[in-house]
């Protein structure tokens, strides 16, 4: 996703409203005319005290750590993954400044979440959604000439949410009759997680997992495990997936070796 595309996305209400909420306390405390109005009942200057600085410093550390863990690789990903933490920090700061302001901010927090949800990907995709490991295996074995790229995900995992539009875009770009894309929600269908040895716990570092199948068998996956059994960190960007799974070569090979449709020759009888 390019910088210009990120800027076009930022004009959507969800982003600029949440950015405003994320900086609301700093705006309220550092802009003199706003600060003098909001905190006129307190004998203090419009400066951040030691406790407020500590909260903001802790917020920066949390956002950086959590953003890295969720695999955020673009400006939009970083913003989306940090909004919940910045808004909670602002809630604490407003309540610390005045309990009544904390209640008002909490109400605004909830209302914004209800009327201004995060935008979802609405572009083209060629993804088959499977309901169980058995259903997928049946499809996998139906025609082993088909190469499958399958994403195992959950709807509550931030990394999976960030990766969803990337996977959809890849499916739209590379889909062929013999190169197909699938998804399995291991949160709803844990049998799939057990079958393919993917942890679906809330602390799992295997979500999402993308597995490449050829001839009905797994040949590659991301993230991978090294020789010592340690999970290797992987950033799920479009370019990283292309490179890791060799998708350009896969696509070329599938184009050069299409599935030949059987032809039925009808004999005419006189």
Q: For the whole prediction, is pTM greater than 0.75?
A: no
Percent of the chain with pLDDT over 70: 87
- CATH number of the structural domain spanning residue 226: 3.40.30.10
Nearest-angstrom CA–CA distance, 26 and 44: 15
- End position of a domain, from candidates 63, 89, 115: 115
Rg from Cα positions in the chain:
25
* Mean of all residue pLDDT scores within the chain: 84
Average of per-residue pLDDT across 123-134: 89
Contacts of range 191-194, beta carbons closer than 8 Å, 24 or more positions apart:
191/132, 191/133, 191/134, 192/130, 192/132, 192/133, 192/136, 192/152, 193/152, 194/133
For residue 207, the cross-strand partners are: none
Report yes or no on 264 lying in a domain: no
- End position of a domain, from candidates 84, 115, 146: 115
- End position of a domain, from candidates 115, 146, 161: 115
Q: Are residues 240 and 201 in the same domain?
A: yes
Q: Are residues 167 and 233 in the same domain?
A: yes
Q: Are residues 110 and 139 in the same domain?
A: no
| Residues 109, 222 contacting (CB under 8 angstroms) | no
Residue 237's CB is within 10 A of a number of other CB atoms, namely: 18
| Structural domain containing residue 66 | 11-115
**Residues ≥6 apart with Cβ < 8 Å to 207:** 152, 153, 154, 157, 159, 160, 186, 198, 199, 200
Question: What's the pLDDT at 263?
Answer: 46
Question: What's the pLDDT at 69?
Answer: 57
For the record, the structure tokens of 26 come out as: 């700093």
- Strand extents, DSSP E, the chain: 127-130, 147-153, 179-185, 209-214, 217-222
Report yes or no on 267 lying in a domain: no
Is the predicted pLDDT of residue 231 greater than 50, yes or no?
yes
Q: Are residues 141 and 22 in the same domain?
A: no
Nearest-angstrom CA–CA distance, 116 and 18: 9
Q: Are residues 172 and 252 in the same domain?
A: yes
Band (15; pLDDT cuts 50, 70, 90): confident
Q: Give the SS3 label for residue 135.
A: helix
Domain count for the chain:
2
Report yes or no on 108 lying in a domain: yes
Average of per-residue pLDDT across 16-38: 87
| CA 32 to chain CA mean position, Å | 39
Nearest-angstrom CA–CA distance, 153 and 168: 13
Q: Are residues 65 and 107 in the same domain?
A: yes
For residue 222, the cross-strand partners are: 210
Q: Are residues 184 and 252 in the same domain?
A: yes
Average of per-residue pLDDT across 129-148: 90
Nearest-angstrom CA–CA distance, 107 and 113: 10
């Amino acid at each position: 996703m390019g910088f210009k595309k990120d800027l076009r996305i930022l004009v959507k209400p969800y982003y600029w409203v949440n950015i405003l909420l994320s900086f609301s306390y700093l705006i309220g405390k550092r802009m003199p005319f706003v600060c003098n109005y909001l905190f006129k009942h307190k004998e203090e200057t419009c400066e951040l005290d030691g406790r407020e600085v500590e909260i903001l410093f802790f917020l920066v550390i949390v956002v950086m750590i959590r953003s890295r863990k969720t695999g955020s690789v673009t400006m939009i990903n970083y913003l989306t993954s940090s909004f919940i933490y910045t808004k909670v920090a602002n809630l604490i700061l407003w309540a610390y400044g005045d309990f009544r302001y904390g209640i008002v901010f909490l109400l605004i927090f909830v209302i914004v979440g209800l009327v201004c949800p995060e935008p979802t990907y609405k572009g083209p995709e060629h993804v088959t959604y499977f309901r169980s490991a058995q259903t997928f295996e049946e499809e996998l074995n139906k025609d082993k000439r088909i190469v499958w790229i399958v994403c195992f995900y959950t709807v509550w995992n931030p990394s999976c949410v960030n990766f969803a539009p990337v996977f959809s875009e890849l499916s739209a770009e590379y889909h062929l009759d013999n190169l197909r894309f699938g998804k399995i929600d291991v949160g709803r269908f844990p049998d799939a997680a057990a079958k393919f040895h993917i942890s679906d716990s809330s602390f799992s570092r295997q979500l999402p997992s993308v597995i490449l199948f050829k001839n009905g068998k797994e040949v590659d996956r991301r993230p991978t495990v090294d020789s010592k059994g340690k999970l290797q960190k992987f950033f799920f960007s479009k370019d990283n997936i292309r490179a890791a799974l060799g998708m350009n070569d896969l696509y070329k090979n599938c184009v050069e070796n299409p599935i030949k449709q059987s032809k039925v020759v009808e004999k005419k009888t006189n």
